[in-house]
Structure 1
Amino acid sequence: MTIDPDSYEPAYIQLAGLLRAAIDSGELAPGQPVPSEKTLIQQHGVARETVRRAISILRAEGRVQTLAGRGSYVRGSADEAEVVTLAPGSRISSRMPSPAERRQYGVAEGVPLFVVELEGQEAQAYPADRVILEVPSLT
């Protein structure tokens, strides 16, 4: 697929969609670098800001992480996630982490935390991109 300059959809959204599809199909695997800005500019005939906005969308979705001076990399999939089994009566919410929590839990920008509360216990937070919360069956 290519960027359609006549589309009602902005080029950066189209490019984000192309990259998302490559990630979802496994063409860009977890840990693999996303093509460089220069490569994406040349391949798709778009401006540098278009590439940056597309990568920003994927970063906000938690699909890629950008390392300063090193580029952007595909984040791991849910298949690699830790499974946390919840106790009966647990309450689950989600929220965006503070900058200190992002460092503490090692989460990228745009990745929320799951917060699990159980009466009488301290709330536990889990990075939503690396944890699957499992509810035990009652049978």
Structure 2
Amino acid sequence: MTDPDALIPLYEQVRRRILAEIDSGRLSEGSFLPPEPDLCASHGVSRITLRRAIGELCAEGRLIRQQGRGTLVAPRKVRQTLVSLSGFSETIEGMGRRSGHRILGREDHPPLQGPALRLGSGAPIRFLRLLEVDGLPMTLETLWFDAARFPGVVSKVAAGGSLFTALRETAGVLPASAERQIDVGFASHDEREIFGISAALPVYRVEKITFDADNRVIAVSHLVTPCHLVSFHIKT
């Protein structure tokens, strides 16, 4: 009887074996694959065959190549509900995972453009933040809000805190509604460097405007997330 595996290309057999190790947890998310020579020896294949198998898994978003560092196992997707008003920290920690906000930049009184114009007059402030899940980057966020309206929020966000938690604790404000526009494109050079992804992997670009109960704009966010890290769901 013919061995069924003999009919499957060798690179595909390797791809399936590596995928099985990821799904079983033997290769944990966020960990780097063993060196290429070790993988070739353990799977009994050439570098060309191994590289094709790994290339297929990178194209599927299961592995991520990082220049100069190696290839790591992509984190499992975060499930986000589009009509949810939960903040990032609340969503991630509700899944039993660890959230983080790393501040990459801050600008006081930046020129407003695009959706941020809807903040109106005041004292706008802009933060560039990297939102992390279990210590790994998930979303690059450009966040605008009115520092004059929410002065107590500025220091908490600057210290890496949650915007929604700071709004609730310092201003007694809760989001009542939100608008989102979602597009799909490719990452810029700087974005690829931050996420450690190749130019071939698409990203979500989300413009989000959050409102209070009086329909006043609380904050405006531009969010960039690699598509292989998140799945969006619609709740009706």
Is the contact made by 1:94 and 1:113 (CA closer than 8 Å) also made in structure 2?
yes
Is the contact made by 1:89 and 1:118 (CA closer than 8 Å) also made in structure 2?
yes
Which residue is equivalent to 1:125?
224
Amino acid of the structure 1 residue aligned with 2:192:
R
Report the Cα offset of residue 122 of structure 1. 8.4
CA distance in 2, matches of 1:89, 1:31: 32
Please give the residue correspondences for 1:77-92 in structure 2 after superposition, counting only pairs within 5 Å.
77-78=76-77, 81=78, 83=80, 85-86=82-83, 90-92=180-182
1:113 to 188, 199, 203: 203
Which residue is equivalent to 1:58?
57
Which residue is equivalent to 1:49?
48
- In structure 2, do the counterparts of structure 1 residues 118 and 75 end up closer, same or farther at CA, with 3 Å as the change threshold? closer
CA distance in 1, matches of 2:222, 2:36: 41
- Where 1:62 maps in the other structure, the secondary structure is coil
Is the contact made by 1:30 and 1:76 (CA closer than 8 Å) also made in structure 2?
yes
- Where 2:75 maps in the other structure, the secondary structure is coil
- In structure 2, do the counterparts of structure 1 residues 84 and 31 end up closer, same or farther at CA, with 3 Å as the change threshold? same
Amino acid of the structure 2 residue aligned with 1:92:
I
- Where 2:21 maps in the other structure, the secondary structure is helix
Report the Cα offset of residue 85 of structure 1. 4.0
Q: TM-score, normalised by structure 1?
A: 0.68
Q: TM-score, normalised by structure 2?
A: 0.44
CA distance in 2, matches of 1:94, 1:113: 6
CA distance in 2, matches of 1:117, 1:106: 19
- Where 1:46 maps in the other structure, the secondary structure is coil
Is the contact made by 2:79 and 2:233 (CA closer than 8 Å) also made in structure 1?
no
- In structure 2, do the counterparts of structure 1 residues 111 and 14 end up closer, same or farther at CA, with 3 Å as the change threshold? same
CA distance in 2, matches of 1:124, 1:75: 19
- In structure 2, do the counterparts of structure 1 residues 14 and 102 end up closer, same or farther at CA, with 3 Å as the change threshold? same
Higher relative contact order (CA 8 A, sep 6+): 1
- In structure 2, do the counterparts of structure 1 residues 98 and 10 end up closer, same or farther at CA, with 3 Å as the change threshold? farther
Which residue is equivalent to 1:31?
30
Which residue is equivalent to 2:72?
73
CA distance in 2, matches of 1:24, 1:95: 28
- Where 1:65 maps in the other structure, the secondary structure is strand
- In structure 2, do the counterparts of structure 1 residues 102 and 10 end up closer, same or farther at CA, with 3 Å as the change threshold? same
CA distance in 2, matches of 1:71, 1:128: 20
Is the contact made by 1:84 and 1:131 (CA closer than 8 Å) also made in structure 2?
no
| Identity level (%) | 32
Q: Name the larger-Rg structure.
A: 2
